[in-house]
Structure 1
Amino acid sequence: MAGAGAGYRELLRTPGVGRIIAAQLTARFPNGMTSLAILLHIEHVTGSYGSAGLVLAATSIGQAIAGPVTSRWMGRWGMRRVLTITLAICALSITGIALLSLPLPAYMALGLVAGLSTPPVQSAVRTIYPKMVTSKQLTPLFSLDASLQEIIWIVAPVLITFVATQVGTVPALLLIVVILIGGGAWFILSPEVGRVRIPRSRRGIGKVLTKAPVLLATVVGFLLIGACSAVEAGVVATFDHGGLEAGLVLAVFSVGSLAGGLVSGRIPISRWAMARRLAIVTVGLALTMVSLNVWWLGGTLVLAGIGIAPALAVLFAMTSASVKFSDTAEAFGWVGTGQLIGAAAGSATAGFLIDDIGAAGAYFAATAFAAVGLLVAIVFVRGFPDLRHRDASPIPDTEPVPTIR
């Protein structure tokens, strides 16, 4: 751990790295708040969780569609322009949901627009990273990024739930708008966002998925985040709809992921790296089914969490290393869409099983998602790049043309 810590200190001393990490985490902070705030607000306004679920579904569909599309637009019109326009539309949509009294279809339409206009900060920053650090530093940077994003999932839901329940759902949504604008502006105005230009892709949209590592990253991301969402639903169901124990258990789940990501940052990524890391997640989740005692669940979820950020780091590194620089933003957009759909699928599957057999069903669903991800990583291991002796930098768009002597 000491060696890893020294490596991260050196990484953060690289000009601009600490600032861009802080800016993008702030800009993405609403990602951990918006769904919960919309759910609580629409339920409060309509008196129906079903109606709230429909608005939330519309928002999620919008986000899933937008991922690869808005990410690709950054290569056509520039990062700052796309980020600024999407930020403005998203902020206005969430403000409309907060302040306007509307029929359910109109709330769903605003939710869809908010999802479609979610600023592609994640795709942008992971496209910028290879241009900021040396090739040897890129994999540790992806690990640090995957670890630190756990802060969003630890702090944001607790903060927005407190504001929504203690102050009101309208102030909660308006707080999201303030953070969205402030964090988004900080990221957009970062010098690196203006300095890095993504070349316009010459390939049709979706063609990047013909690259095996990108398709595998999208599928495995779907399954991994599906497992995490099922766990969240299970924990809430286990501890009476979000009591103190639920918050603490979910927090230690994220803390395990944060610790795992920081420790694994300097470990070279082989073809089997994903399978090893998903094995940790699968074993930890399988053990949750032994007992629903708070201490047992906390311990097993810490174990499962240790594999999550390291697995995400492999996803980011393999995606970056497998495509041309002009395709990186779109590739990360597809990976993000896979994760969003996985989150919805995990929550829905867990919900049905909770209704049918109780909270234990959610942990069974989580284990199943993780186990299928592990199976994919084993069966298609040759599709995962071996990055032990190469860096995770994207393939240059212009390569030397071999000449005949």
Structure 2
Amino acid sequence: MPSASANYRTLLRTPGAAAFFLPAAVGRLGVAMTGIGIVWLVHARTGSYAAAGLVTGGFAVADAVAGPQMARLVDRFGQTRVLPCALGAHAGAVALLLTGAVPDLVAGVLIGATLPQLGALSAVRWSALLSGERAAALPTAFALEALANGVSYLAGPALVSVLGAAGRPGAGVLLAATLVVGGGLALAGQRRTMPPLASRAERRHAGRALLRSAFLRQAALGLALGVFFGAMQVSVAAYAVGRGTPDAAAPLYFASNCTNLVGGWAYGAWRHGGSPRRHQATAAACLTLASLPLTILDAPLVIGATLALTGLAVPVLLILASALTQSSVPRAVLTQAFTWGNSASVAGSAGAAALAGRVVDAGGAHSGFGVAAGAAVVMTVLALGGPRDSSPDVSKPSAPGETMARTALPPT
């Protein structure tokens, strides 16, 4: 897809873009490695997967709860002032885990509570950089973010697993922290593209936007997407083990992850005519149609092909959720809005993993796939709900100031 490559290259040639995107992508690789790195380290130390799961769960919950609070500070004081403090605290928390100076659960919670959401910070910079006449390029920028995220979660866990299997589980956690801190500090140093801070009056009125239906709909969709992820992870593993071929889980995950990258790449390169709300509803409906056969099919090749189809729709939903979030809240709370969406997804994934585990124990892997399909149905309903004209046509560039006016009065 040469045109796709040209679109992404053109985007990264925007003055200042590559300077903040690349450090954020490096840091995001570290973020993707952190959770699985904790699993390897705690299991090596205790010999218990239950203990490793407990610590990782504490890390995930702390990340989901503390992330929006850190984002609130970023919206108020700016990335340059908040990031170095957060990264210093994160490095200290990782040191506590590596040295065993405090109980592993306490260290895991501290690591999650101090982990900055670098993806949200990068997305906010794109929103500021591509305002006004360049706003039509935002979906492509969010697609680039989704690609970076997908690559991170493909390569990061694999790299940590290699280090863990080689008998160096602590190296995975240390490498993850090095990437997070290094990428985050490099991002904080890019003052040229740091979003302008809002005034106190703007912040006072902007917080209400996070309670309006336009944003809450996207947060709820993120929660449902997290449920889909969590249920799929458990169900795919249960399907492979149930057939007596546990090694088949890896290629099944790989099929879905690869098409995930393809779907995000293609959508980012496409000229996005029409309303993003309609695109979102279409993507959610396609995900539902692709997920439902998993509840009855059994042949491995067919399951793999169906999982690949679901992977095409997921990045489109992520890209559009970012675009619709950006257009529904004022800039004074944009970091919080992006972070709340991520926290909702993390919470949904964690809850769904527990729910799907119970469902699979009771009814098998196909019942777990049913949980994922149900989440896709909910996403479709959410995407179809609300006023039809609440989203602008992203194929048309905004006039100067139009994006700011649009975000100052979020639709209800």
Query: Is TM-score (shorter-chain normalized) higher than 0.5?
Result: yes
Match in the other structure for 1:403: none
The reply on whether 1:64 has 2:64 as its aligned counterpart is yes
* 2:236 partner letter: V
The reply on whether 1:214 has 2:215 as its aligned counterpart is yes
Contact 1:321 1:391 in 2 (8 A): no
The reply on whether 1:333 has 2:342 as its aligned counterpart is no
What is the alpha-carbon distance in structure 1 between the residues aligned to residue 8 and residue 224 of structure 2? Answer: 29
* 1:373 partner letter: M
The reply on whether 1:283 has 2:286 as its aligned counterpart is no
What is the alpha-carbon distance in structure 2 between the residues aligned to residue 352 and residue 291 of structure 1? Answer: 21
Contact 2:71 2:336 in 1 (8 A): yes
What is the alpha-carbon distance in structure 2 between the residues aligned to residue 146 and residue 269 of structure 1? Answer: 21
Match in the other structure for 1:256: 259
The reply on whether 1:123 has 2:120 as its aligned counterpart is yes
- Sort the Cα spacing of 1:154 and 1:398 in 2 relative to 1 into closer, same or farther, 3 A: closer
Contact 1:256 1:306 in 2 (8 A): yes
Per-residue CA deviation, residues 263-289 of structure 1 (Å, 9 max, x unaligned), is 222223513211100112122222223
Match in the other structure for 2:225: 224
SS of the aligned residue for 2:347 comes to helix
Q: How does 1:7-46 map to 2 (within 5 A)?
A: 7-46=7-46
The reply on whether 1:196 has 2:209 as its aligned counterpart is no
The reply on whether 1:170 has 2:179 as its aligned counterpart is no
Following superposition, the deviation at residue 141 of structure 1 comes to 1.1
How many matched pairs?
A: 395
What is the alpha-carbon distance in structure 2 between the residues aligned to residue 336 and residue 28 of structure 1? Answer: 13
Match in the other structure for 1:55: 55
Gaps of 5+ in 2: none
Match in the other structure for 1:274: 280
What is the alpha-carbon distance in structure 1 between the residues aligned to residue 389 and residue 31 of structure 2? Answer: 31
Per-residue CA deviation, residues 205-254 of structure 1 (Å, 9 max, x unaligned), is 96332232211111001111220222122223333499553222222212
What is the alpha-carbon distance in structure 2 between the residues aligned to residue 290 and residue 89 of structure 1? Answer: 48
State the TM-score, normalizing by the size of structure 1: 0.89
SS of the aligned residue for 1:33 comes to helix
State the TM-score, normalizing by the size of structure 2: 0.87
- Sort the Cα spacing of 1:4 and 1:220 in 2 relative to 1 into closer, same or farther, 3 A: same
* 2:137 partner letter: Q
What is the alpha-carbon distance in structure 2 between the residues aligned to residue 56 and residue 269 of structure 1? Answer: 42
- Sort the Cα spacing of 1:236 and 1:190 in 2 relative to 1 into closer, same or farther, 3 A: farther
The reply on whether 1:357 has 2:363 as its aligned counterpart is yes
SS of the aligned residue for 2:280 comes to helix
Q: How does 1:148-163 map to 2 (within 5 A)?
A: 148-163=148-163
- Sort the Cα spacing of 1:181 and 1:398 in 2 relative to 1 into closer, same or farther, 3 A: closer
Match in the other structure for 1:110: 107
- Sort the Cα spacing of 1:75 and 1:148 in 2 relative to 1 into closer, same or farther, 3 A: closer
* 1:339 partner letter: S
What is the alpha-carbon distance in structure 1 between the residues aligned to residue 374 and residue 407 of structure 2? Answer: 43
Gaps of 5+ in 1: 400-405
SS of the aligned residue for 1:307 comes to helix
What is the alpha-carbon distance in structure 2 between the residues aligned to residue 384 and residue 53 of structure 1? Answer: 42
What is the alpha-carbon distance in structure 2 between the residues aligned to residue 166 and residue 227 of structure 1? Answer: 32
Per-residue CA deviation, residues 356-403 of structure 1 (Å, 9 max, x unaligned), is 22332321211111111112222335485233465588525998xxxx
- Sort the Cα spacing of 1:243 and 1:328 in 2 relative to 1 into closer, same or farther, 3 A: same
Give me the identity figure in percent.
25
What is the alpha-carbon distance in structure 1 between the residues aligned to residue 389 and residue 69 of structure 2? Answer: 25
Following superposition, the deviation at residue 333 of structure 1 comes to 1.7
* 1:196 partner letter: P
SS of the aligned residue for 1:23 comes to helix
Match in the other structure for 2:351: 345
Following superposition, the deviation at residue 122 of structure 1 comes to 2.1
**Which deviates more, 372-381 or 300-309?**
372-381
From 395, 400, 403, the counterpart of 2:404: 395
What is the alpha-carbon distance in structure 2 between the residues aligned to residue 276 and residue 162 of structure 1? Answer: 39
Contact 2:154 2:257 in 1 (8 A): yes
Match in the other structure for 2:81: 81
What is the alpha-carbon distance in structure 2 between the residues aligned to residue 99 and residue 238 of structure 1? Answer: 38
Match in the other structure for 2:308: 302
What is the alpha-carbon distance in structure 1 between the residues aligned to residue 138 and residue 386 of structure 2? Answer: 25
Q: RMSD of the alignment, in Å?
A: 2.6
- Sort the Cα spacing of 1:332 and 1:210 in 2 relative to 1 into closer, same or farther, 3 A: same
SS of the aligned residue for 1:149 comes to helix
Contact 1:326 1:397 in 2 (8 A): no
SS of the aligned residue for 1:251 comes to helix
- Sort the Cα spacing of 1:132 and 1:379 in 2 relative to 1 into closer, same or farther, 3 A: closer
